[in-house]
Structure 1
Amino acid sequence: MQVAEHMTPSAIVHYQMADDATPQILIDPNGEIDTRIDPAYEPATIELHDARDSADISFASHGMQFVSDPTAVAAFDADRSFRDVYDPEVKTLIKRVSGAQEVVIFDHTVRVDSDTVRRPARHVHGDYSAQSGPARLREVLGDETAAEWSKGHYGIVNVWRPIAYPVETAPLAFADPTAVVAEDWTNVDIIYPDRRGQITGLKRNDAHRWVYMSAMTPEEAVVFTTFDSRGTPAVAHSAVDLTVTPENAKPRQSIETRALVRFA
């Protein structure tokens, strides 16, 4: 069943619980390998605004930008051989969209909406906090180079695109940052057996405005901010579950690429 064109689609998102003062994600707790325990989330039904109808959304104004950007990569295989072609494409895209002078790609994650592969993240979050952003800079670049970058303006961006076919389930949606206030955010600790990480979670606020791109294709991508050294908030995002989906919809497949960016 297709959503009628005149209707605004709706979806379910999962916010961080407002009364959870110390939210934690536990990875492999007590030696239980391949186990993840999430904090409680607050589900909410939201309206989705289609970026195809919004010409004013840009990286400069909203920290995110949807683009037409076909890739020459035929398949994103597990051996990561695609990086020889894809990394230069992504670097060029990031520089064009964000104005960054230097780009260092450090991570690719392929997700499939299936129990057998890493699934899309269905909780509203930002990828880094005020603590974990600089920590990732040091981990990737080393102390000396990180110290040099820290003298200026740097950030972390994510480039997300569908792969294989257009998105029919679990599209990636974004909380319009112009409608998010600082009090909506909370830090979320990720507890591993041998270390700790930290992301940010977003608490429910009915003033939030949610944006996505309908039927996004592998020839399209979205570039968005996940950390900024000058304090520009990350763009909160989540896979969402549409309340109406096509019959026999194929599970979403996507790749996300994270990169450190250095501005002039």
Structure 2
Amino acid sequence: MAHFEPASIKFLRRDPLYDTEKPFQMLTGSDLSTPAQRDNNLLWEEKNVLVQDFRDNVDYFDIDNHGFTSRFLEGFARLDNMTEIDQCYISAIKDLVRKEIADAGTIFVYDWRIRDSSVCYPEGRVNFRDQSNNLLPSNFAHVDMAPVSIVKRIQSSFPQDADLIFAQRVQAINVWKPLNYPVDQWALAVCDTNTMEASELMETDSVRQGDVTALYYAHHNPNQKWHFLRQQTPEEALIFKHFDSKPDVKSSRVIHASIRHHNVAPDAKPRRSIEVRALVFAGNFEYSDKVSK
């Protein structure tokens, strides 16, 4: 019998404000002390959802059908330093993506981050460009990168090959898994792409130290079907899409969020996890490890 669990997620509220203003957020670490210096115009609403455990459900074996899947990845239950991540874990993720993702030629890992639900930052400020800073889980329904940011990253990182890359299939993939122990709280949930509409996504400008990117935040729709791996273990990798340029693919992107569980045991451990973001090109292109990320 399928397991369902009550939880809540924050969604971007539908509001007339966005008829005249594009959603934005400034994550620069600066203090904006006056009303004229807003650091965002995002309006949230928290919604209750039921998340379903999709473990062992063969319907979710193919990432192109629903936008997400899971695979076993052994040997990296703990990752205690950046050197181990850069030299060993990233290589394992590339092997996993090359094996499990269709049309995987060049795999360009452009970012990885560790998240820890026990961290605390003064006044909520964090330098997103510093990978040694662990992040908190994100309870906001979102897609990490909008297409305009995919194009920008390819143009900056592969200036000589950008036109060739744009002429073939490009995918943006996230590989997420827990560290140290199974997830007791703030599990990562993904929404079946077939249960959402493109109109539920709002492109949002995100201003960070030295950079401006675009992502999607999502509106709530009661038809959305959310899934997770109940008590996901460090050996279970959740793989999902941010983008796919293939025009006839069934699922090209997935909204996701860390859920606030309604029933958390008093002795629940804080969540610690690692996520790796990669661009997957159908062709093979040479690049240096020092390429602009």
Q: Does 1:44 align with 2:47?
A: yes
Displacement of 1:66 in angstroms is 1.0
- Aligned pairs for 1:159-170 (under 5 A) are 159-170=175-186
Q: Which deviates more from structure 2 when the two are superposed, residues 122-131 or residues 48-57? A: 48-57
SS in structure 2 of the partner of residue 201 of structure 1: strand
Report % sequence identity. 23
Deviation string 1:24-74 (CA, Å, 9 cap, x unpaired) is 111137556xxx757221110000111125220121211211111213464
In structure 1, which of residues 243, 253, 256 is the aligned counterpart of residue 272 of structure 2?
253
Which position in structure 1 is the counterpart of 2:8?
A: 12
Deviation string 1:145-192 (CA, Å, 9 cap, x unpaired) is 222211111111000010011101100001110101111111011123
Contact 2:142–2:257 at 8 Å: present in 1 too? yes
Give the total of aligned pairs: 256
Deviation string 1:125-151 (CA, Å, 9 cap, x unpaired) is 001112111112223x33112222111
SS in structure 2 of the partner of residue 67 of structure 1: strand
Which position in structure 1 is the counterpart of 2:200?
A: 184
Amino acid at match of 2:44: Y
- Aligned pairs for 1:201-216 (under 5 A) are 201-216=217-232
- Aligned pairs for 1:120-159 (under 5 A) are 120-139=137-156, 141-159=157-175
Structure 1's unaligned 5+ residue stretches are none
In structure 2, which of residues 64, 82, 95 is the aligned counterpart of residue 60 of structure 1?
64
In structure 2, which of residues 108, 111, 117 is the aligned counterpart of residue 107 of structure 1?
111
Amino acid at match of 1:70: E
Displacement of 1:7 in angstroms is 6.0
Amino acid at match of 1:41: W
Contact 1:71–1:86 at 8 Å: present in 2 too? no
Q: Does 1:27 align with 2:27?
A: yes
Contact 2:78–2:179 at 8 Å: present in 1 too? no
Q: Assess, with a 3 A threshold, how the Cα gap between structure 1 residues 72 and 243 changes in structure 2: closer, same or farther.
A: closer
Q: Which deviates more from structure 2 when the two are superposed, residues 229-238 or residues 182-191? A: 229-238
Q: Does 1:85 align with 2:119?
A: no
Counterparts of 1:7 and 1:61 in 2: how far apart (Å)? Answer: 21
Displacement of 1:76 in angstroms is 3.6
Q: Assess, with a 3 A threshold, how the Cα gap between structure 1 residues 243 and 92 changes in structure 2: closer, same or farther.
A: same
Counterparts of 2:215 and 2:6 in 1: how far apart (Å)? Answer: 26
Contact 1:160–1:255 at 8 Å: present in 2 too? yes
Amino acid at match of 1:135: K
Displacement of 1:107 in angstroms is 1.0
Q: Does 1:227 align with 2:243?
A: yes
Which position in structure 2 is the counterpart of 1:218?
A: 234
Q: Assess, with a 3 A threshold, how the Cα gap between structure 1 residues 237 and 72 changes in structure 2: closer, same or farther.
A: closer
Amino acid at match of 1:261: V
Amino acid at match of 2:28: D
Q: Assess, with a 3 A threshold, how the Cα gap between structure 1 residues 74 and 44 changes in structure 2: closer, same or farther.
A: closer
Amino acid at match of 2:12: Q
Structure 2's unaligned 5+ residue stretches are 33-38, 121-133, 284-293
Task: Calculate the TM-score normalised by the size of structure 1.
Answer: 0.89
Contact 1:66–1:221 at 8 Å: present in 2 too? yes
Contact 1:64–1:235 at 8 Å: present in 2 too? yes
Displacement of 1:18 in angstroms is 1.2
